[in-house]
Amino acid sequence: MNVIYRDNISLTGRDSAPYQYLQVKPVTGALGAELFGVDLGQNLDDAVIAEIRRALLEFQVIFFRDQKMTPEQHRDFGKRFGELHVHEYVKGLDDYPEIIRIIKTESDTKNFGGTWHSDVTYHTTPPLGSILYALDVPEVGGDTLFASQYLAYETLSEGMKDLLDGRTATHSAEPIYGKAGAFNQRYKDSTTMVKPEEEAPVLVTEQPIFRTHPETGRKALYVNGNFTTRIAGLSEADSAPILQRLYLHCTAPDFCCRFRWEKGSVAFWDNRCVQHYAVNDYAGQRREMHRVTVMGDAPY
């Protein structure tokens, strides 16, 4: 099947029906599309929201350019797709706790999200997706990479699929958001990023290694280096070589796209089938993003 987009070019493997309200241009064969002809700061009709959701499901991550949103408009756009997550560990805006600020200053050497991961998979109902809005970007650098976990699953060997089918893995907030975790070590002196320590316990849950997307029915690989700690029934030591093999596989270049940010750009990714990586290659430059995260369902 084909998808028709702005220049009447077709791409195999996707819905053939034309879009009525959006101009949609795929950016790679693996995943990703830029969407044109919509102002996310407006109160969009349900039909337009439905097409944005359709594009998200088809392309896994979608991008918008030249947007202008107040925090209220950003929050309200996110709420059109579901309940918003108030982060357990990262401080939100004072008046909009659903919105977290992701800032790297000129003097910072490390960034937020600079490893391959899916967001907050330690939650029993991890996110449907996240909507990231660029307020300030470096002149050069600061791109974000995205990787299709559908393709990661589909290209696994049959032997690996047989080995892991039906198995679960432990996902924990401890490595990143625990007291000695990477986030708290990096931002321990920050008053804009870190919540008071007593506000949230460390969350741990079990997730399927292969999850079925609740809307598309496709299977995706669902482990990530930030939060997956071991395979159920195996020790961390026994799990480690299998997990490391999966981490290496799931971010292969053929599964990826790369987004170059501009001020006013927006990325909306499907956290159920995508991993992402914030590239830290802009030393001495400032980057500020606002993010809202839409909650999803319990994986199966």
How far is CA 151 from each of CA 93, 164, 211, 233, rounded to the nearest angstrom?
Answer: 36, 16, 13, 26
How far apart are the C-alpha atoms of 104 and 172, rounded to whole Å?
25
Selected catalytic residue, list 119, 123, 211, 213: 119
Q: Beta partners for 220? A: 211
Q: Is 13 left (phi over 0), alpha (psi -120 to 50) or beta?
A: left
117 given a catalytic annotation? yes
Given the structure tokens 């706790």, which residue do they identify? 97
State the amino acid at position 203 in one-letter form.
Answer: L
Q: Which of 53, 75, 85, 117 is catalytic?
A: 117
AA identity, residue 122: Y
Residue 213 is among the residues annotated as catalytic for this protein? no
Q: Confirm whether 286 is a catalytic residue.
A: no
DSSP letter at 194?
Answer: B
Non-local CB neighbours of 147 within 8 Å, separated by 6+ positions: 30, 31, 116, 250, 251, 252, 255, 256, 274, 275, 276, 277
Write out the two tokens for 145: 């990479």
State yes or no: is 291 an active-site residue: yes
- Catalytic annotation, pick one of 53, 87, 186, 276: 276
First to last CA, the chain: 28
207 within 8 A of 214, measured Cβ to Cβ: no
Q: Which two tokens stand for residue 36?
A: 């044109």
* Torsional sign, CA 216, 38, 95, 110: positive
The 3-state DSSP class for residue 159 equals helix
Catalytic machinery residues: 117, 119, 276, 291
